[in-house]
Structure 1
């Protein structure tokens, strides 16, 4: 801690809130953010987050128990707000006394924040706009993550740098705000901390860590890619509530376009409602992502990656990644003081 004195001082509010040594969260990446990577990140001083995604309560129960067997450090669980068994998943987190629950994918349904806090857990929500951030805080969120469109996976329309300029000056003095999206080096972390962020969240940087169970071919796709290879999906039908997804361009990108057309036809025929349509889209992504991450199908699977993918050039242990990020941030802050 002493060697990163300036960075740690700026992270103090975040580390106190998370209970970790460094205020560096790992973004919840379906199939990637499981017990091995999550525990490794927490053991290395960061804050790991299990990606529940489409898991059943039984699967989440086993994943949390598996993670707790590998680390005694704090970690969180990311829950998708549209999950049909959301409250059952919240109950699983409560049984295991999970300290932090991250709600992602939309406005939390009525009673969900209260249900999480009833167990003593803290609630972290994603805020794509300043107005929604204020609303979520009024509704009981303990902290926010503002994630820019440079991120991998589901994204919003606004860049990280703009969100940070809009939201941090308004909220960071009185609230905990973590910045995410496109962060690949410690110099960027230092900048957001100076702007008032309590910490940061990174996903792409950790996806190919040595402890990540991702298939070797999935990792190789990252190592070959540049920032411009990570593209956002296109919405085919404006009626479909499709949240854009950023991934490496491949045949899977085209297959998603075809899936949207298929679901739109079902809507036209009255065979599904809008909620079911969105769930089918989500299930498509879950399946396509599994094919890429677990099976190594990087041609038709979904290789979700943020634009920082060009900075991921080799497999490294999580501890080395976190140490490098902290050292880069500390060097940047030290140079500014010296100047």
Structure 2
């Protein structure tokens, strides 16, 4: 079964569950355009999540999902809301869903785990998840160590469930490449930041639009929580402190609340503008519908072109 058949979506594209950003305006637009919109529950209370779910259900009758950051302490409450509100698809990250698998599966939910390595992909398949998102280090936000190009084919070879590629995808070439690596779909985050429906401050969008291929860097490796963001004065200060072997407490003093500052207040100098290395390709504002349709039309053109290529050496004609 393909990922589109499994989820009942038109296009095999997931919208990344970006904390503070993946809320109703973006989620419902993605689902209405034929992809899988995903509510990012990171930092949400049970009441806020319930409100977002109800807003999405009022705005679309298409499939959508809720992402659970499993490191959060209120996961049991959030799962209660998901079950009560009849959400059918859950994606997970930042931990193992093992403690919650029985209740999720008993209620017939489709479960998809975001993973950074082959080892974890195998563990997720053994747990009984329905698919995995193999996310490379190129992605924005919390990242692993392995690149998408290296990670995806290894995960595809290691598991029998559908694999979705994430990290470094922002146009049709990225989609075509993901399929060439064996993925059944893509998860996209950074490109959705430059859509009209994305509910971020205009300064945040401008920072992504102005970014190039070297604009991002990773912080937090020293404390076991690497995050990719666009460089600014706060990021520079954070990295300086990391190089000086500052404690977690010292680092959190300057980073606490930084994502909200960027997303809602538009402070792109002292806030955290989480974005991926592919930001340099995200240089125009479009609607979600235009973006998705355009990306897949371009991907099809590239796949058709590649299908006409022959890489097998021709046998020389004998004289």
Q: TM-score, normalised by structure 1?
A: 0.85
Contact 2:14 2:36 in 1 (8 A): yes
**Where does residue 186 of structure 2 map in the other structure?**
200
- Which whole-Å deviations, capped at 9, do the CAs of 1:33-54 have from their partners, x for residues lacking one? 1000000000001111000001
- Which whole-Å deviations, capped at 9, do the CAs of 1:72-128 have from their partners, x for residues lacking one? 1000011111111111101111111111111111223x4212222222111111222
Instruction: State the distance in 2 between where 1:284 and 1:60 align.
Output: 27
Structure with larger RCO (C-alpha < 8 A, sep 6+): 1
Q: CA deviation at 1:196?
A: 2.3
Instruction: State the distance in 1 between where 2:182 and 2:165 align.
Output: 10
Instruction: State the distance in 1 between where 2:294 and 2:278 align.
Output: 15
Q: CA deviation at 1:217?
A: 0.8
CA separation of 1:335 and 1:27: change in aligned 2, threshold 3 A: same
Contact 1:208 1:214 in 2 (8 A): no
**Where does residue 309 of structure 1 map in the other structure?**
279
Q: CA deviation at 1:235?
A: 3.2
2:284 matched to 1:299?
no
Unaligned 5+ runs, structure 1? 1-11, 266-279
Cα RMSD over matched residues? 2.0
Q: CA deviation at 1:255?
A: 4.9
CA separation of 1:256 and 1:50: change in aligned 2, threshold 3 A: farther
Contact 1:54 1:286 in 2 (8 A): no
Q: CA deviation at 1:135?
A: 1.1
Q: How does 1:185-334 map to 2 (within 5 A)?
A: 185-236=171-222, 240=223, 242-256=224-238, 261=246, 263-264=248-249, 287-334=257-304
SS in structure 1 opposite 2:83? helix
Instruction: State the distance in 2 between where 1:88 and 1:185 align.
Output: 37
Contact 2:153 2:182 in 1 (8 A): no
**Where does residue 145 of structure 1 map in the other structure?**
133
**Where does residue 277 of structure 1 map in the other structure?**
none
- Which whole-Å deviations, capped at 9, do the CAs of 1:199-240 have from their partners, x for residues lacking one? 11000010120111111111111111102111111434xxx3
Contact 2:118 2:154 in 1 (8 A): yes
**Where does residue 22 of structure 1 map in the other structure?**
11
Instruction: State the distance in 2 between where 1:183 and 1:195 align.
Output: 13
**Where does residue 87 of structure 1 map in the other structure?**
76
Instruction: State the distance in 2 between where 1:212 and 1:189 align.
Output: 21
Instruction: State the distance in 1 between where 2:67 and 2:206 align.
Output: 27
Instruction: State the distance in 1 between where 2:20 and 2:144 align.
Output: 21
SS in structure 1 opposite 2:66? strand
Instruction: State the distance in 1 between where 2:228 and 2:69 align.
Output: 18
Q: How does 1:115-194 map to 2 (within 5 A)?
A: 115-171=103-159, 174-194=160-180
Q: CA deviation at 1:132?
A: 1.5
CA separation of 1:329 and 1:73: change in aligned 2, threshold 3 A: same
Instruction: State the distance in 1 between where 2:280 and 2:53 align.
Output: 32
Unaligned 5+ runs, structure 2? 310-319
Q: CA deviation at 1:285?
A: 5.7
2:34 matched to 1:45?
yes
Contact 2:196 2:287 in 1 (8 A): yes
Q: How does 1:62-77 map to 2 (within 5 A)?
A: 62-77=51-66
Count of residues in Structure 1 that have an aligned counterpart in Structure 2? 306
**Where does residue 312 of structure 2 map in the other structure?**
none
